[in-house]
Amino acid sequence: MFKEKLNKKLAALLSEHGFEEPLEMQLKCIPKINGGSDVIGIGPEGCGKSSTIIISAIQKLTAAFEDAPRALIIVADEAKVLAMLEQFKLLSYNTDLRAEAVFEGGKIDKQTEAIYFGTDIVIGTPKRVMEIYFKKNFNLNKIKLFVIDDAEMAIKNAAHGQIDRMALSLPKCQHLVFANELNEKIEKLIEKFIVAPVIVKIEA
């Protein structure tokens, strides 16, 4: 039933890579994301938060389109950026969707150029995304999906100000936020740009 709600190419690829049974986060969140809701996904490590993000982005965007990115995924650090990019490549190889990774450990000019010449998804750290945005080489006007993974890490790393500025610079779009727990600081982080989200909680 879960895969029947996905496009055929993506469903086939999930089966090919052993995703026979959906993780609980995937099962509960993806139908709501497909329906267009803003979603807050709360659950422990291993419940499927990152894969939910990648599957949802592939499902929503379907195919490459123009040059400006349509999905922006914010993660905590370089390791998480590269891990998510690797998972995207695994699950999107039978599509023409493009993704670029941006993080402080890479050369900013090269990352900026890659975005400028066309991509569908940007996966990056808050600081590097904002650095590229301020170079006026990051067109946010086509963003349809704005995602924050590891929201508690954004607060711990004092990136909430950067995320605020980013979120308020975006056009009207769908918002997804994932964290291990929902606390007052995370609620304060998202209240400026998310009004009535669907909250999905997965128990440990």
Q: Beta-strand (E) ranges in the chain?
A: 39-42, 71-74, 99-102, 121-124, 145-148, 174-179, 198-201
142 is written with which tokens? 């086509």
Q: How confident is residue 3, by pLDDT bands cut at 50, 70 and 90?
A: low
Q: Any idea how long the chain is?
A: 204
* Distance in angstroms (rounded) separating the CA atoms of residues 124 and 114: 13
Q: Which helix (H) or strand (E) element contains residue 88? A: helix 78-92
| pLDDT at 197 > cutoff 80 | yes
117 is written with which tokens? 């010449």
- Domain ranges (residues) in the chain: 25-201
pLDDT at 4: 60
Question: What would be the CATH architecture of the domain defined by 25-201?
Answer: 3-Layer(aba) Sandwich (3.40)
| pLDDT at 6 > cutoff 80 | no
Global pTM? 0.92
Q: What is the mean pLDDT of residues 8-33?
A: 80
| pLDDT at 1 > cutoff 70 | no
What are residue 129's DSSP bridge partners? none
> To the nearest whole number, what is the mean pLDDT of the chain?
89
Q: How confident is residue 69, by pLDDT bands cut at 50, 70 and 90?
A: very high
| pLDDT at 14 > cutoff 90 | no
10 Å Cβ neighbour count for 159? Answer: 22
pLDDT at 2: 59
Whether the Cβ atoms of residue 55 and residue 30 lie closer than 8 Å to each other: yes
Q: How confident is residue 5, by pLDDT bands cut at 50, 70 and 90?
A: low
The model's pLDDT over 101-159, given as tens digits with 9 standing for 90+, comes to 999 988 999 999 999 999 999 999 999 998 998 877 788 999 999 999 989 887 777 78
Percentage of the chain surpassing pLDDT 90?
56
Residue 83 three-state SS: helix
| pLDDT at 194 > cutoff 50 | yes
Q: Beta-strand (E) ranges in 1-135?
A: 39-42, 71-74, 99-102, 121-124
Location of structure tokens 């995937």: 26
Q: Which residue has the higher pLDDT, 176 or 11?
A: 176
Percentage of the chain surpassing pLDDT 70?
94
* Distance in angstroms (rounded) separating the CA atoms of residues 145 and 126: 16
**Looking at residue 138, what DSSP letter applies?**
-
Q: Which residue has the higher pLDDT, 97 or 137?
A: 97
Whether the Cβ atoms of residue 162 and residue 93 lie closer than 8 Å to each other: no
